[in-house]
Amino acid sequence: MGSEPNPVPWPARLRKAEPGQRDAIVAQAPTGWREPLRALLEGPEPEEALTRAAGLPEPIQATPWPVRLSRLLHEGSYPARLLALYPEALAGLHPEAPPADPLAALRQAVGEASLDDALGRVRSTEYLRLAAREVEGAPLEETGGALSDLVAACLQVLLEQLQLAEQVVVFGMGKLGGHELNFLSDIDLVFVHDDAIGEGDVERRRELVDLHQRLRTLVRHLEGQGKWRPLFRVDLRLRPFGSRGPLSTSVTATEAYYERHGRAWERQVWLRGRPLAGRLDLGALLLRRLTPFVYRRSVGPEIFGEIADMMRRARREATRVGGDDGDVDIKLDTGGIREVEFTVQALQLLHGGRNPGVRDTGTLPALDRLLAAGLVSDREHHQLGVAYRWMRHVEHRVQLAEGQQTHRIPGEAAARARLARRLRVGGSAASLTSTMQRHRQQVRAIAKTIGGDEELGDPRAHDLAVALDDGAPRDDRCAALQRLGVHDPAETEARLEHLRTRPDGAFASTGTSRHGAENLLRACLDSADPDAAIARLVELAATRPAHYGIWRAFAEPSPVGRDLLRLTGELLGASEPLGRGLIGFPPGRPAGPGRSGSRPDFLLGLLERASEAELPGPRTLAADLRRQLVDPRGLDATLLHFKHEQLVRAGLFDLGRRPDPLVVGRAISDVADLVLRVILRDLAAEAGVGSRFDLAVLALGKHGMQAMDYGSDLDLMFVFEPLEASPEAQTAAARLAQRLMTRLESRALGQRLYEVDMRLRPSGRQGLLVTSLTGFRRYHARRIAVWERLALLRTRAIAEVRVGEPGLVPPSFDDLDDAEPDPPGAMVAAAVPGSLCEAIEDTVSETLGWRPGPEPPPSADEMRQQTRRLKQRIEAELARENRAQGRFNAKTGEGGCLELELLVAALQLVHGPEHPAARARGIVDAVEGLGEAGVLPRDEVAALCADYRFLRLLLNRLRMSPGGRGEDPDRFSENSPRLVTLARRMGFPSRADLMRRFSDARSRVRSAFDHHLPG
């Protein structure tokens, strides 16, 4: 009896079935097959994917494969061809596959197979894995970097196998040197050997001949042999003397060539030269010697001609403009990949000699460095970076389709629609064309500003003129705004139309005022959020007609003025408190009682003071408020204007001088103290004669330790003490506290002064709004929770008033600076802390164990464990981090600012009773005090203080750089363009540098937390 024939493999069975029967076949399939089969049906090209699946080698079809393979089969024939060439490459797609290490894999494979087979097998496995990562949406930096690392590993193994590793260094040029290779790039290589080879007698010259022969063998292996060909396409034409020159030159000969014969385009080539394999020390030596050739320290007029020639050469390589309706070469046509690369390289050549910070071989890292150096705007950086990443992903997908070295996007609608589906760009030819057109136009516009061609003009000036032209069609105005970087051009066009139609407005004027308005509009377009910045610019311009001095100040700015123009645009596009503060209130209000004249434009005054050496202290703030003109709408309107003015003052100082973030936090907290005191005094005067009591206001949290940022709320606690036996005192004190909160939080003026948080009061949300001193003492005489002790550490008495006595009058501002600050740093104003605040602070000290009290504090172990549990709960419920996806929370996440604050607070609770130096309210002072007490070693003190300052600065900058609406401002994504703005505002060359610093800080903070508060 014959054996039963082999059953038809499930992929083939699915392909042969009618479309209406396929779901049933998937349901009948074994469990392991269902998900891969479903993925074949649900991708962008199901029929093609099924055909490719059915054509895979039989061993692959015999058992269920990873879902990643099914998704890859929708991309084109190349992944299937890789598997047909080497079926074992499928192992790299399994979820349990070990992390890729091509160098280790190659060294192992060389011991198991021939050299060519080893290279082919590892290359096929890694290409298949990276193709899957590309389809899964991996960032360009990952795929381009891994492809570059694969080539470097192949070169290293070939050098080792041919006994060249100690004689030669191999430089990668172009995309390989930039660590951004694509799947089917040419491999641009330059070989350089040690000076000792070939110098001297005949034997040494023979050694050089032998070296060249072995290098030719290396190239043959790298290009592939037999079934593996082509492995890589090797291009050696970038070496000295090009294709006519020797295959390898010595270090000294290479240096001499560029000194004598080096041309401008070769300087550009070596911008991306990177030693990959072999004698890396020789590579570093040569790069140092070539630095004066590549990066000229003195920039003469000739360099502008060289850059213009370079940009013209890039345009000549674009054989035509490449209309978006026909075939488009995404690399070479205008506005394509090459134009982004040449634009970045032109700026590096121009500025790299005097500014080493802009030097980098990679296009995207170099673009980040140019932003950090202020050589490209936020808008230019964002548009070039987004366009480059998108076009490189398109290039990858076009190449993966058929395994061809092509950069062409087909013009035929059906083919373009298939590509759109694979890229998930709307699924139609029109959507792909629209996206491509937008990116190419933006790149082209920016590149034109670099090239220096007379015929190119200034595209931004042209687009700006169109956007402000009443006679231009509305669609043209919207298109111009989109090219200028606006995300919602229709909304912004409507706002600008409102400005254009105001007969007295700066945008409707001619001459200096209009020029100044357009300068500020450009600064807004270059901000992190151009839509928000322009919306606020509209509000700003609506209250300042063309004759106001602010427009003249922006028309012809000095170098200092240009910085202020940039800062103004950044602040208008920054967070709501800063942007709103910059708008201010309408200038020219009537003077207050007893004063004559009208108020000058406060914005102009702010800009004039932006270069001040330090932020105002408490006495200066009180004096500034004393000089503030009274708003006819009332005291709260005056205070709101004052608060905004001081926030903008701090923001200008912060961005312009990058001070210690603790200084900025103290200044913002001092403003809050003063505003609260003035309102409290006004309310006490309004209360009139009645129940007599003292009311104290305590600040906790960030406010308590004078560490507020631009969006901080006020953590408050109220304590009162009746001056006579009266059942009405509690009610009257609660009413006064409620009225204070209402005035702080009221939106009657369009926005509130501050948001108030009362959750840290005794008993939290369930507790009384106002606690008597007796009740406060009784509550804290018992054994309170550790979280409440942690909160008490940051308690600071900020205000106190006496209510119910005759003779109290509202604040006139004339006596705000009568009191002397005591202790140093206390606010100088009416309603300063008095005897009730002293009694409260005594109770706090007893509770914390600073002085003898009725109840001993919990044990050290309990405080450590409770603090640890609190942090774990906060991290689980609030941080919402996903480290695998690069999403972090700088405040509540692992190793974040709050973790460091809780660590310090726990150590203060444990050691503060014995060591007065450890009782400081501020974190840095407390860490230093713990160091003095011997609790923390000196090196850890320095590291934690530096990390805290960094994390506080990061939180400040996060509040300046708006994320999405409704998002936690302390959260950010590692790959977000927002992080580029953050890096620049924090003084880091690139997003990667900022993330490295963040990672280092988080790691140290978490290690310290685990060490001092063990679980």
* Torsion, Cα of 363, 368, 369, 374 (10° steps): 130
Using CB atoms within 10 Å of the CB of residue 685, give its burial: 0 to 12 exposed, 13 to 18 middle, 19+ buried. Answer: middle
Please state, in angstroms and rounded to a whole number, the distance separating the CA atoms of residues 410 and 325: 9
Please state, in angstroms and rounded to a whole number, the distance separating the CA atoms of residues 874 and 888: 14
Same domain, 824 and 938: no
Tokens of 822: 């005591």
Of the candidates 915, 1001, 914, the one whose C-alpha atom is nearest the C-alpha of residue 952 is 1001
Residue 367: pLDDT band (50, 70, 90) is very high
Using CB atoms within 10 Å of the CB of residue 915, give its burial: 0 to 12 exposed, 13 to 18 middle, 19+ buried. Answer: middle
Residue 727: pLDDT band (50, 70, 90) is confident
- Asked if residue 799 is part of any domain, the answer here is yes
**pLDDT tens digits along 689-702:** 678 899 999 999 99
Query: Is 223 in contact with 231 (CB distance < 8 Å)?
Result: yes
Please state, in angstroms and rounded to a whole number, the distance separating the CA atoms of residues 543 and 530: 20
**pLDDT tens digits along 950-1002:** 999 998 888 776 555 556 788 888 877 677 767 877 778 788 889 999 999 99
Please state, in angstroms and rounded to a whole number, the distance separating the CA atoms of residues 216 and 218: 5
Tokens of 395: 């290039």
- Predicted pLDDT at 891: 92
Please state, in angstroms and rounded to a whole number, the distance separating the CA atoms of residues 149 and 140: 14
Of the listed ranges 384-388, 588-592, 802-806, 982-986, the least confidently predicted one is 588-592
The H or E element containing residue 261 is helix 251-261
**pLDDT tens digits along 409-466:** 887 888 888 898 898 887 788 889 999 999 999 998 888 777 544 333 445 666 776 7
**pLDDT tens digits along 268-287:** 899 999 999 999 999 999 99
pLDDT above 90 coverage of the chain, percent: 46
Same domain, 685 and 540: no
* Torsion, Cα of 974, 979, 980, 984 (10° steps): -130
Of the listed ranges 290-304, 328-342, 415-429, 640-654, the least confidently predicted one is 290-304
Please state, in angstroms and rounded to a whole number, the distance separating the CA atoms of residues 348 and 355: 9
Please state, in angstroms and rounded to a whole number, the distance separating the CA atoms of residues 232 and 849: 72
Phi, psi of 882 (to 5 degrees): -140, 90
Of the candidates 59, 60, 271, 77, the one whose C-alpha atom is nearest the C-alpha of residue 177 is 271
Same domain, 512 and 620: yes
Where on the phi/psi map is residue 226: left (φ > 0), alpha (ψ -120 to 50), or beta?
Answer: left
**pLDDT tens digits along 99-131:** 789 999 999 999 899 999 999 999 999 999 999
Residues 6 or more apart whose Cβ sits within 8 Å of residue 30 = 10, 64
Same domain, 838 and 882: no
**pLDDT tens digits along 624-635:** 888 776 777 788
Interior/surface letters 854-868, b for 16+ CB within 10 angstroms, e for the rest: eeebbeeeebbbbbb
- Predicted pLDDT at 818: 42
- Predicted pLDDT at 611: 59
Query: Is 607 in contact with 553 (CB distance < 8 Å)?
Result: yes
The domain boundary residue, chosen from 824, 848, 872: 848
Type of residue numbered 663: V
Residues forming beta bridges with residue 590, ordered by sequence position: 598
Phi, psi of 299 (to 5 degrees): -105, 110
- Asked if residue 18 is part of any domain, the answer here is no
Type of residue numbered 702: K
- Asked if residue 24 is part of any domain, the answer here is no
Q: What is the mean pLDDT of the chain?
A: 84
**pLDDT tens digits along 704-726:** 999 998 878 999 999 999 988 77
Neighbours of 18 (CB within 10 A): 7
Query: Is 211 in contact with 197 (CB distance < 8 Å)?
Result: yes
Where on the phi/psi map is residue 7: left (φ > 0), alpha (ψ -120 to 50), or beta?
Answer: beta
Same domain, 269 and 366: no
Domain count, the chain: 5
Residues 6 or more apart whose Cβ sits within 8 Å of residue 477 = 466, 467, 469, 489, 493, 496
- Predicted pLDDT at 393: 95
**pLDDT tens digits along 474-524:** 888 888 888 887 888 899 888 888 877 777 888 877 667 777 888 888 888
Residue 321 sits in a domain whose CATH number is 1.20.120.330
Residue 321: pLDDT band (50, 70, 90) is very low
The domain boundary residue, chosen from 234, 269, 294: 294
Query: Taking the CA of residue 874 as centre, how many other CA atoms within 13 Å lie in the half-sphere pointing to its CB?
Result: 20
Strands (E), 266-370: 274-278, 328-329
For range 172-186, the mean pLDDT = 94
Kindly tell me if the per-residue pLDDT of 355 is higher than 50. yes
Kindly tell me if the per-residue pLDDT of 267 is higher than 60. yes
The domain boundary residue, chosen from 633, 657, 681: 657
- Predicted pLDDT at 987: 75
- Predicted pLDDT at 812: 52
For range 157-162, the mean pLDDT = 97
- The position carrying tokens 């309107």 is 637
**pLDDT tens digits along 7-28:** 789 999 999 989 889 999 999 9
The H or E element containing residue 696 is strand 693-700
- Predicted pLDDT at 1010: 93
Same domain, 969 and 937: yes
- Asked if residue 524 is part of any domain, the answer here is no
- Asked if residue 951 is part of any domain, the answer here is yes
Same domain, 824 and 905: no
Q: What distances in angstroms separate CA 565 from CA 1, 69, 434, 523, 952, one per listed residue? A: 92, 53, 34, 7, 26
Residues 6 or more apart whose Cβ sits within 8 Å of residue 888 = 881, 971, 972, 973, 974, 998
Strands 408-409 and 328-329, by their bridges, are antiparallel
Using CB atoms within 10 Å of the CB of residue 689, give its burial: 0 to 12 exposed, 13 to 18 middle, 19+ buried. Answer: exposed
Q: Which domain holds residue 449?
A: 302-456
Kindly tell me if the per-residue pLDDT of 406 is higher than 90. no
Query: Is 160 in contact with 270 (CB distance < 8 Å)?
Result: no
Tokens of 603: 């914005």
Same domain, 756 and 788: yes
Same domain, 560 and 607: yes
Phi, psi of 337 (to 5 degrees): -60, -45
Of the listed ranges 114-128, 163-177, 567-581, 741-755, the least confidently predicted one is 567-581
**pLDDT tens digits along 193-225:** 999 898 777 777 889 999 999 999 999 999 999
Kindly tell me if the per-residue pLDDT of 317 is higher than 90. no
Please state, in angstroms and rounded to a whole number, the distance separating the CA atoms of residues 657 and 659: 6
Please state, in angstroms and rounded to a whole number, the distance separating the CA atoms of residues 516 and 506: 8
Same domain, 447 and 545: no
**pLDDT tens digits along 798-849:** 999 998 876 655 555 555 544 443 333 333 345 788 899 999 999 999 999 8
Same domain, 818 and 838: yes
Phi, psi of 715 (to 5 degrees): -85, 110
- Asked if residue 163 is part of any domain, the answer here is yes
- Predicted pLDDT at 377: 87
Is the sign of the CA dihedral 801, 577, 583, 586 positive or negative? negative
User: Please, what's the largest Cα pairwise distance for the chain?
Assistant: 118
Phi, psi of 199 (to 5 degrees): -100, 130
CA 186 to chain centre: 33
Kindly tell me if the per-residue pLDDT of 264 is higher than 80. no
DSSP assignment letter at 605:
H
Is the sign of the CA dihedral 264, 269, 272, 275 positive or negative? negative
Residues 6 or more apart whose Cβ sits within 8 Å of residue 402 = 76, 77, 78
Type of residue numbered 999: S
Residue 741 sits in a domain whose CATH number is 3.30.460.10
Is the sign of the CA dihedral 684, 687, 689, 690 positive or negative? negative
- Asked if residue 448 is part of any domain, the answer here is yes
Select the more confidently predicted residue: 979 or 642: 642
- Predicted pLDDT at 977: 67
Residue 597: pLDDT band (50, 70, 90) is very low
Of the candidates 797, 919, 760, 935, the one whose C-alpha atom is nearest the C-alpha of residue 851 is 919
Query: Is 193 in contact with 160 (CB distance < 8 Å)?
Result: no
For residue 856, cis peptide bond before it (omega within 30 degrees of 0): no
Query: Is 545 in contact with 499 (CB distance < 8 Å)?
Result: no
Residues in the chain: 1015
**pLDDT tens digits along 32-67:** 999 999 999 998 999 999 999 999 998 999 899 999
Kindly tell me if the per-residue pLDDT of 81 is higher than 50. yes
Residue 3: pLDDT band (50, 70, 90) is very low
- Predicted pLDDT at 837: 93
Tokens of 953: 């600065």
Tokens of 580: 């709103």
Please state, in angstroms and rounded to a whole number, the distance separating the CA atoms of residues 961 and 995: 16
Of the listed ranges 156-160, 280-284, 486-490, 907-911, the least confidently predicted one is 486-490
Please state, in angstroms and rounded to a whole number, the distance separating the CA atoms of residues 989 and 935: 36
Query: Is 718 in contact with 683 (CB distance < 8 Å)?
Result: no
pTM score over 0.75: no
Tokens of 7: 């059953």
Q: What distances in angstroms separate CA 200 from CA 196, 204, 205, 206, one per listed residue? A: 8, 6, 7, 10
Of the candidates 842, 869, 717, the one whose C-alpha atom is nearest the C-alpha of residue 781 is 842
Residues 6 or more apart whose Cβ sits within 8 Å of residue 459 = 444, 445, 448, 449, 483
Residue 322: pLDDT band (50, 70, 90) is very low
- Asked if residue 13 is part of any domain, the answer here is no
- Predicted pLDDT at 5: 47
Same domain, 731 and 766: yes
- Predicted pLDDT at 823: 34
Strands (E), 744-879: 756-757, 770-772, 796-803
∠ CA(576), CA(580), CA(586), 5° rounding?
170
